[in-house]
Amino acid sequence: MPSIHSQIFKMSKKQTALTFLPVLLLLNSLFLPSICTAEVPRLSEDPYLWLEDIQGTRALDWVKEQNAVSTKELEAVPGFEKMRERLLTILNSKDHIPFIAKHGKYYYNFWRDEKNERGLWRRTTLEEYKKAEPAWEVIIDLDRLAADEKENWVWHGAEFLEPDNDLVLVSLSRGGTDADVVREFDVNSKSFVKDGFSLPEAKSTVSWRDRNSLYVATDFGPGSMTKSGYPRIVKEWKRGTKLADAKLVYEGKEDDMAVSAYTVHDHGKVYDFLSRQMTFFSDEVKIRKDDKWIAIDKPADAIFGTILGDYASIRPRSDWKIGNKTYPAGSLLIEKLDDYLKGDRNFTVLFEPTERKSLYGVSDTKNYILLSELDNVQTHAYILQNKDGKWERTAVSAPEFAEVGLSGVDSDESDDFFMTIEDLLTPSSFYISNASAPAKKEKLKSEPSFFQSDNLIVEQFEVKSKDGTRVPYFQVSPKGMKLDGNNPTVLYGYGGFEISMKPNYRASEGAAWLERGGVWVLANIRGGGEFGPNWHESARKENRQRAYDDFSAVAKDLIARKVCSAEHLGAEGRSNGGLLMGVMLTKYPELFAAIHCGSPLLDMQRYNKLLAGASWVDEYGDPDKPDEWQYISKYSPYQNVSKEKKYPPILITTSTLDDRVHPGHARKMAALLKAHGKDVLYYENTEGGHGAAANKKQSAFMSALAFSFFWEKLKK
């Protein structure tokens, strides 16, 4: 489930590395019965409401009982401990690429391994980084800090003061929650600044305005947060003053999603912006001019940013008509910022989508724009240069099925850029190049293969969904595999929030599943961003069923092609993908032999009242409105559990400290299924936040649980 905290506020303040809301997956099948169209009644009394008491003694005792049952069964699966150790070895391997980001003259990296469970924040020079064994200067040892302060700190990042790059705002989470504390730190003295800026634990967004002032949106006390649990008030906080005395900048509404203010340093220009996020997919943006906030005229659902210092960039999420010209949803438009603010609309179109092509990412260097697109879920990357007023493209070569990422190293200083290349069977390689000669790229680092892949093949297929829409999916399987319906297969999906599922390298899946002869499938269903905003929009709110039609169509196609049968097909998804799994369980049970449902939404009648749930009403609809509950009720898993229906075995996992998707969803679903005598395993990690793991040891354990469950249920 994407978080407003991570997807919007934690993005680079230069918001044009356009990860495009779309800042953590899927299923289907064959002989599908008709779906009941009668409205599901609301539950007058929820017998498991007590499980929503996150830290309640009764609820935690129940969790302990379920964890004991699940771990006893799954740890007894042959090969469990060997798999867990193998996965932990992979996660802790020193052969992983230490990716870097440039700030000033140094290149920074956050690193975790066996000896540094919580991690090291460190830096080096580019020359040193190119060596096989770079010398790193440790800035913060998080394990030592946690021990000294007796806190279970989880790293949430650091924001640099530009252009000096000597001070940072360090964000630290207790146990992996979205909420964190923020403290000012001096990277040269390697110490927290005495009497410096410091914020208590909250879902805050903080940005340097200058050396002695911050924009702060946080929990200022009663009434300062939205119904979604994010700040609705932003203030300007001066050094040496109390937070309570900070000057009010803007106050949003309780029904808004969140507000924030931030400063952008872009090619020597400095801009201050204010964002009022009304819903997950709509906002109002203002720019500060002479201490006045000037509204930027744009469609509410268009994404606004700056690029190359002088240009405004806009990506409309719905068709935008200006005069006689219509710019399609998913386009990338730019115009000189000053001209745009004056009312001119003489856009240059840098990208225009097609039915099967969408914008993937945008960054820039000093003089060039770096653009990548998805063409039928395959990445194509380009360098754009302005020559005499026309933008010319140069293609960046990459292998078929590869995921390619481009990012400017330091757009204020050079035309250097970083590039990553990987695919489902090829581990990541990390390059540096120059936009003036991209073919002369230099490999900085590369990862070894973490699983045997010589006998594996990646193929892309597509299937027609219920309404005739073509839905692609990637299949990783052994070469020469017999199409006899007996191959253990896991189908993975997400299908929401315009987030694309891309064919990147997955070491854990490779080592725990593919090496053992399993088949792994990645579905690109509607609701995601694989084909741009329209692909997402087509499965939003009242059209949600289309995502489930798509996933089931992929499952049925796997069975029809005899890759597997329902007796050997499993499905996995997390967060919004966990909701997908809940629907697969309750509506398509005959298609699967096992389901892993991770960190899920399941009670769609109450989701908007639990933690950050209200922020997703723009995705799912409002269950408190009768006309919207009518369509939500048809698929809400918790309300659609049937005592009479036969369900496949299900493993439900979550985290006690998930402060994004309430663990009550998973707890109540497991309890209800158990009460009806269904085959349910439940495991709740006590740490980890929405990712369900606070460190690599926990990640390895959670993965071993899931793949042991699948192997036991799906093996030949």
The pLDDT value recorded for residue 44 is: 54
**What is d(CA 447, CA 456) in angstroms, rounded to the nearest whole number?**
18
Q: For residue 41, is it within any domain? A: no
Q: For residue 9, is it within any domain? A: no
Q: For residue 162, is it within any domain? A: no
Q: For residue 454, is it within any domain? A: yes
Residue in 15, 11, 27 with CA at minimum distance from that of residue 714? 27
Q: What residues have CB less than 8 Å from 519, skipping those under 6 apart? A: 475, 476, 477, 478, 481, 487, 488, 489, 490, 563, 564
| 3-class secondary structure, 674 | helix
Point out the domain boundary residue: 407, 427, 449: 449
The CA distances from residue 668 to 224, 303, 572, 583, 687, in Å, are 30, 37, 19, 15, 19
Q: What is the CATH number of the domain that holds 589?
A: 3.40.50.1820
Kindly provide the residue ranges of all beta strands, DSSP E only, lying in 176-268, ordered along the sequence.
Answer: 180-186, 191-192, 198-202, 205-210, 213-217, 233-238, 247-251, 258-266
**What is d(CA 303, CA 153) in angstroms, rounded to the nearest whole number?**
33
Q: What residues have CB less than 8 Å from 84, skipping those under 6 apart? A: 700, 701, 704
Tokens 């090496």 belong to which residue? 515
554 & 580 share domain: yes
Cβ neighbours, 10 Å, residue 128: 15
Q: For residue 579, is it within any domain? A: yes
Q: Tell me which of 568, 690, 699, 708 is the catalytic residue.
A: 690
Look at strands 191-192 and 180-186 and give their pairing: antiparallel
606 & 572 share domain: yes
Q: For residue 582, is it within any domain? A: yes
Residue 533 in tokens: 């905003």
Q: What residues have CB less than 8 Å from 478, skipping those under 6 apart? A: 455, 456, 457, 517, 519
Q: Which structural domain range is residue 324 located in?
A: 297-351
Residue 323 in tokens: 């005069």
Q: For residue 110, is it within any domain? A: no
699 & 599 share domain: yes
346 & 377 share domain: no
| 3-class secondary structure, 186 | strand
627 & 686 share domain: yes
Q: Are 634 and 25 in contact (CB under 8 A)?
A: no
Cβ neighbours, 10 Å, residue 354: 12
Q: Are 473 and 28 in contact (CB under 8 A)?
A: no
> Helices (DSSP H) in 121-175: which residue ranges?
126-129, 142-149
Q: What secondary structure letter does DSSP report for 644?
A: S
537 & 399 share domain: no
Q: What residues have CB less than 8 Å from 516, skipping those under 6 apart? A: 711
**What is d(CA 15, CA 313) in angstroms, rounded to the nearest whole number?**
10
**What is d(CA 611, CA 658) in angstroms, rounded to the nearest whole number?**
9
- Burial category of 571 from C-beta neighbours within 10 Å (exposed 0-12, middle 13-18, buried 19 and up): buried
443 & 510 share domain: no
550 & 602 share domain: yes
Point out the domain boundary residue: 315, 333, 351: 351
CA dihedral sign of residues 308, 99, 457, 485? negative
This model's pTM is above 0.85: yes
Point out the domain boundary residue: 416, 433, 449: 449
63 & 78 share domain: yes
Cβ neighbours, 10 Å, residue 467: 12
Sheet holding 269-279, edge to edge: 258-266, 269-279, 282-289, 292-295
526 & 425 share domain: no
**What is d(CA 360, CA 326) in angstroms, rounded to the nearest whole number?**
21
603 & 636 share domain: yes
> Helices (DSSP H) in 642-695: which residue ranges?
664-675
The pLDDT value recorded for residue 6 is: 34
Q: Are 656 and 687 in contact (CB under 8 A)?
A: yes
> Is 703 known to be catalytic?
no
Q: For residue 123, is it within any domain? A: no
> Is 575 known to be catalytic?
yes
Spacing of C-alpha 634 from chain mean position:
27
Residue in 197, 102, 15 with CA at minimum distance from that of residue 408? 102
What percentage of the chain exceeds 70 in pLDDT?
A: 94
Task: Tell me: cis bond preceding 648? Omega within 30 of 0 counts.
Answer: no
The pLDDT value recorded for residue 70 is: 98
DSSP annotation string for 337-399: HHHHHTT----EEEE--BTTEEEEEEEE-SS-EEEEEEETTEEEEEEEEEETTEEEEEEEP--
Q: What secondary structure letter does DSSP report for 622?
A: -
Q: What residues have CB less than 8 Å from 138, skipping those under 6 apart? A: 120, 121, 122
435 & 522 share domain: no
Instruction: Report the number of distinct structural domains present in the chain.
Output: 3
Regions of the chain with pLDDT less than 70: 3-44
**What is d(CA 359, CA 32) in angstroms, rounded to the nearest whole number?**
34
Q: What secondary structure letter does DSSP report for 7?
A: I
**What is d(CA 425, CA 511) in angstroms, rounded to the nearest whole number?**
11
Give per-residue pLDDT as tens, 450-498.
999 999 999 999 999 999 999 999 999 999 999 999 999 999 999 999 9
